[in-house]
Amino acid sequence: MLPVATSLRITKTPWATYTIVVANILVHILVGWHTNFIVPDGVARKFGFNPTSFGNFLAVPTLVTSMFFHGDLLHLFGNMIFLLVFGRRVENQLERINFLAFYLTTGISACLAHMLMEPDSSSPLIGASGAISGVLGAFFICNPTARIRFVLDPALIYFLRRLTIRLPAWVFLPVWFFLQVSLGLKPHGVNVAFWAHVGGFLTGRSLFHRSLRVHSEGRESPLIH
């Protein structure tokens, strides 16, 4: 199922979210223009996050650069749809600069979570899904009753005789999270960093929960710059 909308209104133009989406698309076009929009292995290894190379100081920038490279168009499309659906609302609630800091922080935390769980992995980690998982975690905390519209997979369309379905965030997001955990625990050959998703989600949830608690106590949020 692919999320395409939520029941919540966007009250202010989410420029940070749109900028991140445009940046990811432009990077993918520039990098993949001559390779059928598949990221070359050399580029992935240069800009992707590699746990085994993290001891090298020169590898530190890859904690950030890895968020802006995607393996292929399907990888890019899926991530950007998730970011647009959930990120715009979270940006409205955090404000622009706070959202950018939040997004980068959760993306970095996702890389570190991947390194913690897969310390011997030599495959470069690329993609925005770790940071976007943090956005999902924040969305779960601040909008648990929001209803999310999904476009169904072809098989589900056939059996349910409908194109879309709505689920509340408090149902979908915990199911999504525990699916990432269960897939991360299984030995598999799929080239997906499930622990990065888990780490990003938990970081996003924790940061937004702390922000709400500080606001309720009448103090300034630590996310405000």
Q: What pLDDT score does 225 carry?
A: 28
Is residue 225 included in any domain, yes or no? Answer: no
Q: Which helix (H) or strand (E) holds 5?
A: strand 2-6
Average model confidence (pLDDT) across the chain = 88
Confidence band of 109 (pLDDT split at 50, 70, 90): very high
Q: What pLDDT score does 220 carry?
A: 39
> Phi, psi at residue 223, to the nearest 5°?
-85, -10
Q: What pLDDT score does 213 carry?
A: 56
Per DSSP, the residues of 44-57 read: HHHHSB-GGGTTSG
Confidence band of 187 (pLDDT split at 50, 70, 90): confident
In this prediction, residues 26-54 reach a mean pLDDT of 91
In this prediction, residues 76-94 reach a mean pLDDT of 95
Q: Which CATH number goes with the domain that contains 131?
A: 1.20.1540.10
Is residue 224 included in any domain, yes or no? Answer: no
Residue 212 has pLDDT above 80, yes or no: no
Is residue 7 included in any domain, yes or no? Answer: yes
> Among 23-27, 166-170, 187-191, 219-223, which is the least confidently predicted range?
219-223
Q: In what order do the strands lie in the sheet with 147-151?
A: 2-6, 147-151, 164-168
- What's the predicted TM-score (pTM) here? 0.89
Is residue 160 included in any domain, yes or no? Answer: yes
Residue 216 has pLDDT above 60, yes or no: no
In this prediction, residues 44-60 reach a mean pLDDT of 86
Burial class of residue 200, CB neighbours in 10 A (0-12, 13-18, 19+): buried
**89-104 confidence digits (pLDDT tens):** 999 999 999 999 999 9
Q: Give the total number of structural domains in the chain.
A: 1
Is residue 176 included in any domain, yes or no? Answer: yes
Q: What pLDDT score does 121 carry?
A: 82
Is residue 154 included in any domain, yes or no? Answer: yes
In this prediction, residues 19-32 reach a mean pLDDT of 96
**122-151 confidence digits (pLDDT tens):** 889 999 999 999 999 999 998 999 999 998
Is residue 223 included in any domain, yes or no? Answer: no
Contact 81, 202 (CB under 8 A): no
Q: Which domain holds residue 69?
A: 2-216
Helices in the chain by DSSP H: which ranges?
Answer: 15-32, 41-47, 62-65, 73-82, 88-94, 96-117, 129-142, 154-160, 169-185, 194-216
Q: What pLDDT score does 153 carry?
A: 79
Confidence band of 218 (pLDDT split at 50, 70, 90): very low
Is residue 25 included in any domain, yes or no? Answer: yes
Instruction: Name which of 223, 209, 213, 200 is nearest 102 in CA terms.
Output: 223
**5-18 confidence digits (pLDDT tens):** 999 999 999 999 99
